Every structure is written in structure tokens, then in C-alpha cells.
Amino acid sequence: MKTLLTETDLKKGISKMAAQIEEAYAGRQLTIVGILTGSIVLMADLIRLIELPTRVGVIEASSYRGATTERGELTINSELLIDIEGRDVLLVDDIFDTGHTITRVIQKLEELGPTSVKSAVLLHKRERQEVEYTPDYAAFHIPNEFVVGYGLDYEDMYRNLPFLAVLEDSDLKKHADLVGQKSQA
């Protein structure tokens, strides 16, 4: 794997973004809603860094299934979501790629009557953007590469890496071999 952002890089970028968020919401209560599952690592770090009265919730949204890097039909499940009516909401996601997921989730959240909805992402891939929306906060802008680590996955693997890496062809082959061994067991 080729390292794109080190653990130190990630900590610096997230700390800077957390300070911007804290300044913007100074003196107010904030409800942070993470999009499962990719945002959990970022959300955990943000809620420890933002020194404001904070509520935390999650929403499930997915458009990728199995061994694919191509977007499929988006499904949104808000059953796990806490009440956001009349609240300032910060939607947290791991990556802003085409933008379809976050804009659809924002639409869903707005139906629930919050005072405001803003977004924070770890990564913004400007080259892939297909919607007229820009995240309110982005820790990093990255090139159009398939990345894993720090919550981002490939076939539900690699989320636990403390750095951000680009999966190369040799990594995909090793991964396929491991999956093949699992199915033979």
C-alpha cells in the first residue's frame, strides 16, 4: 500500500477542522450525526476534540456493496438516528466523492426539522464531484485514488489502519487471495 496521509498528517488536519467547527458553533449545543460505517473513526476523534455541549447520533447510508468501487443504489436507514428537531446538526462522513450520498442524507435530515445542517468530511475528492454542493468542512483534499484506512474500507477491510493508503493492484491481489482462502475454509 502506498501511504497517502500519515497518522500525524491525519491528526493535524482533523485538529484544525475541529477548531474551525468549535469556533463556528461557539456557545451553542451541537448534534453530531455520523454516516455509518466509514465515519466512526473520524467522528470519535471529532467528539473528543470539540469542546462544546454535544449530542451524538448515527445514520446508515450505503451505495457500495461487496467488491466494488462503483456506486450502486443509495439506501438510507434513519432508524438509529436521535431526535434532531430544532437542533444544529453537523453531518460527519469519511469522504465526499461524487457527493450523492451526503446530499441525499442532508435532504433526509432536513425533513426532520433541524435548525441547521452542515457537513464535515475527512476527505474531499474534487475531481469526482458530480453535485452542486461543497462540504462546509473538509480536513483534506485528495486526488482521485481509491483509499483505505482511518474508517474507509475495501470489502469491509482496512478501516482499522491509523493512516490513509492507496490500494494498489498488488494489494487487491493479496486481498483476493485472502478472501479465497476464507471461502475454502
**Catalytic residue annotation:** 97
C-beta atoms surrounding 35 within 10 Å: 24
Whether the Cβ atoms of residue 41 and residue 14 lie closer than 8 Å to each other: no
Q: In what order do the strands lie in the sheet with 116-124?
A: 75-77, 54-62, 30-36, 88-96, 116-124, 137-141
> 17 to each of 2, 92, 124, 160, how far by Cα in Å?
25, 12, 13, 21
For residue 164, how far is the Cα from the chain centroid?
13
- How far is 148 from 41, CA to CA, in rounded Å? 12
Query: Hey, what amino acid is at 54?
Result: T
C-beta atoms surrounding 158 within 10 Å: 20
What residue spans of the chain are helical by DSSP H? 7-24, 40-49, 100-110, 169-184
